[in-house]
């Protein structure tokens, strides 16, 4: 066994966040049969894939990603379609992957990057750097050291007695530091963050952590950069714990809204869907107009908690159903 230990120290903030997360996990576990329904699991998986690819500059909308995975024809860049299909296959394999197996990591990367890069399923053979525009912000270790670094990291994870929430975040940072692949490091690092957590508590297999990472993308990259400079991943770990805590809160809200019976949702309902119906009234409004009436400014939150659940429950409909992304799209209550 290697004596490798990642540069990291515990903080009081981490202890506090673990307590908050544990409370959320306990609450959701009690309601799990109702909250994490098969429909909601698939919806969360699609949101995970969309967000993880969007971080890597895939331009497809959530609606387009959903359509692709529903087998519908979508006119767009073929490589972006391939990224979606590959990611879905890789995430479908998650339940059967061993988070401590380097072979399984390579197997998942082969699926994730199949047809996109020549070295899919293999560690990189050359040097690689991470750039912000033309500025080099991280130079990864030389390729010849990658297998050793990865095996040491996996051995550390397997034998470390740190809390799984802490270990997975430290692993995530160290994985991105090593940058073991020619491409796909970000999406694999995020996937391998969720994988061991899912083995610890199953609900993490269905938690769309990537969506919150996408909404805090600058903080995410800033925290990675700061950890490099400080040779300590504590700040990155704290950020990831915050994101997990907030993701758990979102799942609770979405689950309760989705499980409400249509006939029980009224204009007086205080849920996100009920509030949307209340402000919509008998009008025909654009998404921006509905957001203004709700007093919301964050479009991803609006779509995730308000618009998409209302559409899925057939409580509202699009005025241009054949073109979901039309700039003239509006919404009205279904009659």
Structure tokens at 308: 């998409």
Backbone angles phi, psi at 69, to 5 degrees: -75, -15
Cβ-Cβ contacts under 8 Å for 283 (sequence gap 6 or more): 332
The b-or-e profile of 158-192 (16+ CB within 10 A means b, else e) is: eeeebbbbbbbbbbbbbbbbbbbbbbbbbbbbbbb
Burial class (CB in 10 A: 0-12, 13-18, 19+), 52: buried
What pTM, to 2 d.p., does this model score? 0.72
DSSP state letter for 263: G
What CATH number belongs to 12-256?
1.10.3290.10
Which of 3-12, 126-135, 170-179 shows the lowest per-residue confidence on average (mean pLDDT)? 126-135
How remote is the C-alpha of 260 from its chain's centroid?
A: 25
pLDDT for residue 175:
96
What is the pLDDT confidence band of residue 217, given thresholds at 50, 70 and 90? confident
Neighbours of 73 (CB within 10 A): 7
Helices (H), 4-77: 12-30, 32-35, 38-55, 62-69
Tell me, what's the pLDDT at 27? Answer: 81
Q: What's the CA dihedral at 67, 72, 78, 84 to 10 degrees?
A: 40
Q: Compute the distance between CA of residue 55 and CA of residue 312 in angstroms, rounded to an integer.
A: 25
Express each pLDDT in 57-97 by its tens digit: 899 999 999 999 888 888 899 999 999 999 999 998 988 99
Same fold, 12-256 and 262-333: no
User: Which residues touch 327 (CB under 8 Å, ≥6 apart)?
Assistant: none
pLDDT in tens, 134-167: 777 778 899 999 999 999 999 999 999 999 999 9
Contact 35, 255 (CB under 8 A): yes
Query: Rounded to 5 degrees, what are φ and ψ at 331?
Result: -130, 150
Which has the minimum average pLDDT: 17-26, 38-47, 202-211, 251-260?
251-260
Q: What's the CATH class of domain 262-333?
A: mainly alpha
User: Using 50, 70 and 90 to split pLDDT, how confident is the model at 178?
Assistant: very high
Q: For residue 268, what pLDDT is reported?
A: 39
Q: Coil, strand or helix: which one is 167? A: helix
Helix (H, G, I), strand (E, B) or coil at 98: coil
Report how far residue 123's alpha carbon sits from residue 132's, in angstroms, rounded to the nearest whole number: 23
Angle, CA of 43, 285 and 59, to the nearest 5°: 45
pLDDT higher than 50, residue 265: no
Q: In which band, very low, low, confident or very high, does the pLDDT at 252 lie, cut at 50, 70 and 90? A: very low
Residue 26, pLDDT > 90, answer: no
**Cα–Cα distance, 186 to 179 (Å, whole number):** 8
The two three-digit tokens of residue 284, written as one number: 């025909």
Neighbouring CB atoms inside 10 A of 118's CB total 10
Q: Where along the chain do its domains lie?
A: 12-256, 262-333
């Amino acid at each position: 066994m290697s004596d490798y230990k990642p540069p990291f120290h515990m903080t009081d903030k981490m202890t506090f966040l673990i307590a908050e997360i544990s409370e959320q996990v306990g609450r959701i576990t009690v309601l799990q049969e109702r909250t994490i329904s098969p429909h909601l699991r698939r919806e969360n998986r699609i949101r995970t894939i969309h967000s993880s690819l969007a971080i890597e500059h895939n331009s497809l909308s959530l609606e387009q990603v959903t359509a692709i995975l529903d087998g519908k024809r979508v006119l767009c860049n073929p490589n972006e379609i391939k990224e979606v299909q590959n990611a879905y296959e890789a995430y479908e394999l998650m339940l059967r992957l061993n988070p401590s197996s380097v072979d399984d990591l390579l197997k998942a990367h082969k699926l994730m990057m199949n047809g996109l890069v020549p070295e899919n399923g293999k560690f990189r053979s050359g040097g690689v750097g991470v750039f912000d525009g033309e500025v080099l912000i991280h130079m990864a270790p030389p390729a010849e050291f990658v297998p050793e670094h990865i095996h040491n990291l996996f051995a550390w994870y397997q034998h470390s007695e740190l809390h799984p929430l802490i270990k997975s975040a430290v692993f995530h940072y160290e994985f991105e530091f090593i940058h073991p692949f020619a491409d796909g490091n970000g999406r694999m690092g995020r996937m391998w963050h969720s994988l061991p957590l899912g083995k610890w508590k199953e609900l993490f297999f269905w938690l769309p952590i990537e969506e919150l990472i996408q909404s805090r993308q600058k903080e995410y990259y800033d925290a990675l950069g700061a950890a490099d400079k400080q040779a300590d991943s504590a700040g990155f770990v704290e950020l990831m714990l915050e994101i997990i805590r907030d993701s758990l809160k979102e799942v609770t809200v979405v689950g309760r809204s989705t499980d409400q019976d249509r006939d029980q949702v009224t204009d007086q309902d205080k849920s996100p869907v009920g509030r949307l119906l209340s402000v919509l009234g008998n009008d025909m409004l654009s998404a921006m107009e509905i957001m203004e009436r709700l007093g919301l400014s964050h479009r991803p939150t609006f779509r995730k908690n308000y618009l998409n659940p209302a559409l899925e429950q057939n409580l509202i409909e699009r005025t241009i159903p054949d073109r979901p992304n039309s700039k003239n799209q509006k919404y009205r209550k279904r009659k």
